[in-house]
């Protein structure tokens, strides 16, 4: 039995992400691809696997429905296109799945839904309830209201966050290409597809170019980043061609298609949230001794190792941790506000109470609230 097959024997929960170029190339819903995708979702459900579908294509489909000739460039038109397209897409999935006794539900998320810890847990509870009822949740970013999501968001990243939310073992990213190549196969006839990648490296990210599609936001680099993030919550990732017949069944049968990214050592859901879901509000710069204490000796961050405090943040908010060259080495939940940290930076923990008039903790960031990147 090969490594894929061994891993897949333990898989009972999957996130499937499908891109705009599969769902709505040139703004038209791809009926054949949607038929195949829904057949695949039903096949996974027939194997007793919980499935969440993260779907793109709302803006692309909506722009055509509204009579626009190209992807909108203004926020109001993007929001209008997302509203029109989302209705068409959810109806298309429902029309294919409900008559075959597969209930579906729509979940629209914004960045705040995963950045805020309480809303993150509420979203997780919603997914848990739906999956326990045998429902296939269909997820998209709520582009109709979330301006920042339209400017900066992409569903590749969203899919990895959903994988963490539902504790999925596998993330399947369906694209318009059949995997990750060492060069763009549309421009280079000698490009070689990777079959298996143990860990996403800087070299891999450098090989991934920007998107050449006018339909969506994500390129191969965002897919690799999603695979890296999924690995840190213990999930493997497969990138494969979305309009291939029976692609989901082929993946679950351990056939050698697409590019497989190995699952990594799982960090806690809370630490994954700190690293990838929460929104950093500022940063602290450390001296060499503090960097070594964190990176080598697995210690908490003490005020004595902080040389500079940047930005404005409250106690408990996520902040970046950087060395003196400006390289981000981690993220964590601040034990003190930016104002307080600036007063106690470079000082011993025993001096905190005399400097501030009170003391919460000895640590600026406790190890339990710190993630190294």
pLDDT tens string 84-107: 989 999 999 999 999 999 999 999
Q: Which range among 179-188, 198-207, 283-292 has the greatest average pLDDT?
A: 283-292
> How many CB atoms neighbour CB 74 within 10 A?
8
Angstrom CA distances, 151 to 154, 159, 334, stand at 9, 17, 28
Residue 253 has pLDDT above 50, yes or no: yes
| pLDDT score for 148 | 55
Residue ending a domain, among 272, 302, 324, is 272
Using 50, 70 and 90 to split pLDDT, how confident is the model at 275? confident
Domain with residue 295: its CATH number is 2.30.130.10
Tell me the average pLDDT across 2-31: 91
Q: How many domains does the chain have?
A: 2
The pairs formed by 294-298 with CB atoms below 8 angstroms and a separation of 24 or more are 294/321, 294/329, 294/330, 294/370, 294/372, 295/329, 295/372, 298/367
Residue 143 has pLDDT above 90, yes or no: no
The residue with tokens 């969203």 is 158
Q: What is the distance, to the nearest Å, from the Cα of residue 292 to the centroid of all Cα atoms in its chain?
A: 29
Q: Mean pLDDT lowest for which of 221-225, 264-268, 280-284?
A: 264-268
| Coil, strand or helix at 225 | helix
Assess whether 264 and 327 both reside in one domain. no
Assess whether 107 and 227 both reside in one domain. yes
Assess whether 246 and 295 both reside in one domain. no
* Model pTM above 0.85: no
| pLDDT score for 78 | 85
Assess whether 263 and 285 both reside in one domain. no
Residue 196 has pLDDT above 80, yes or no: yes
Assess whether 263 and 304 both reside in one domain. no
Residue ending a domain, among 255, 272, 289, is 272
| pLDDT score for 370 | 94
**DSSP count for the chain of H helices, then E strands:** 16, 13
Assess whether 37 and 61 both reside in one domain. yes
| 57: alpha, beta or left? (left if phi > 0; alpha if psi -120 to 50) | left
Residue 271 φ then ψ, to 5°:
-70, -35
Nearest to 8 by CA among 235, 244, 333: 235
Percent residues over pLDDT 90 in the chain: 62
Q: Are strands 328-333 and 370-372 parallel, antiparallel or unpaired?
A: antiparallel
Assess whether 284 and 245 both reside in one domain. no
Residue 210 φ then ψ, to 5°:
-70, 165
Assess whether 141 and 16 both reside in one domain. yes
Tell me the average pLDDT across 33-50: 96
Assess whether 10 and 86 both reside in one domain. yes
Tell me the average pLDDT across 247-256: 95
Residue 358 has pLDDT above 60, yes or no: yes
Nearest to 154 by CA among 137, 140, 171, 172: 140
Mean pLDDT of the chain: 89
Residue 217 has pLDDT above 60, yes or no: no
Residue 351 has pLDDT above 70, yes or no: yes
> How many CB atoms neighbour CB 354 within 10 A?
10
Beta carbons of 155 and 55 less than 8 angstroms apart: yes
pLDDT tens-place string over residues 312-340: 999 999 999 999 999 999 999 999 999 99
3-state secondary structure 253-276: CCCCCCEEECCCCCCCHHHHHHHH
Tell me the average pLDDT across 41-59: 95
Residue ending a domain, among 272, 303, 333, is 272
Assess whether 334 and 222 both reside in one domain. no
Nearest to 211 by CA among 223, 220, 202, 224: 220
Bridge-partner residues for 128, per DSSP?
none
Using 50, 70 and 90 to split pLDDT, how confident is the model at 260? very high
Percent residues over pLDDT 70 in the chain: 95
Q: Give the number of C-alpha atoms closer than 13 A to the C-alpha of residue 42, restricted to the C-beta side.
A: 16
Domain with residue 121: its CATH number is 3.40.1160.10
Residue 213 has pLDDT above 60, yes or no: no
Q: Are strands 13-18 and 50-55 parallel, antiparallel or unpaired?
A: parallel
Assess whether 158 and 303 both reside in one domain. no
Residue 58 has pLDDT above 50, yes or no: yes
Assess whether 243 and 319 both reside in one domain. no
Whole-angstrom distance, CA of residue 89 vs CA of residue 85: 6
* Domain limits for position 292: 280-372
Nearest to 261 by CA among 155, 169, 372, 166: 169
């Amino acid at each position: 039995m090969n490594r894929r097959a061994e891993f897949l024997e333990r898989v009972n929960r999957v996130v499937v992400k499908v891109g705009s170029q599969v769902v709505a190339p040139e703004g038209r819903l791809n009926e054949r691809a949607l038929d195949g995708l829904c057949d695949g979702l039903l096949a996974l459900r027939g194997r007793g696997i919980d499935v969440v579908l993260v779907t793109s294509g709302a803006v692309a489909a909506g722009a055509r429905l509204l009579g626009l000739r190209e992807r909108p460039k203004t926020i109001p038109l993007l929001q209008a296109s997302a509203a029109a397209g989302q209705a068409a897409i959810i109806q298309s999935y429902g029309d294919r799945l409900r008559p075959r006794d597969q209930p579906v539900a729509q979940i629209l998320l914004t960045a705040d839904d995963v950045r805020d810890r309480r809303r993150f847990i509420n979203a997780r509870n919603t997914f848990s309830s739906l999956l326990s009822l045998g429902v296939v949740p269909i997820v998209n970013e709520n582009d109709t209201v979330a301006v920042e999501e339209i400017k900066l968001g992409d569903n590749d990243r969203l899919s990895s966050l959903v994988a963490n939310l539902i504790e999925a073992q596998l993330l399947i990213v369906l694209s318009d290409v059949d995997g990750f190549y060492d060069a763009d196969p549309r421009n280079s006839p000698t490009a070689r597809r990777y079959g298996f990648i143990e860990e996403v490296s800087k070299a891999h990210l450098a090989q991934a170019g920007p998107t050449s599609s006018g339909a969506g936001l994500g390129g191969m680099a965002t897919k690799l980043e999603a695979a890296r993030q999924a690995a840190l919550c213990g999930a493997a990732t497969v990138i494969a061609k979305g309009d291939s017949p029976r692609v989901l069944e082929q993946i679950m049968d351990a056939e050698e298609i697409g590019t497989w990214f190995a699952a990594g050592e799982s960090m806690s859901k809370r630490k994954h949230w700190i690293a990838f879901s929460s929104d950093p509000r500022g940063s602290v710069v450390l001296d060499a001794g503090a960097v070594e204490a964190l990176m080598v000796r697995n210690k908490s961050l003490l005020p004595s190792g902080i040389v500079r405090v940047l930005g404005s943040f409250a106690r408990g908010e996520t902040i970046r941790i950087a060395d003196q060259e400006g390289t981000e080495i981690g993220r964590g939940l601040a034990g003190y506000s930016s104002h307080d940290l600036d007063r106690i930076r470079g000082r011993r923990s025993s001096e905190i109470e005399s400097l501030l008039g009170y003391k919460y903790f000895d640590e600026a960031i406790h190890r339990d609230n710190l993630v190294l990147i």
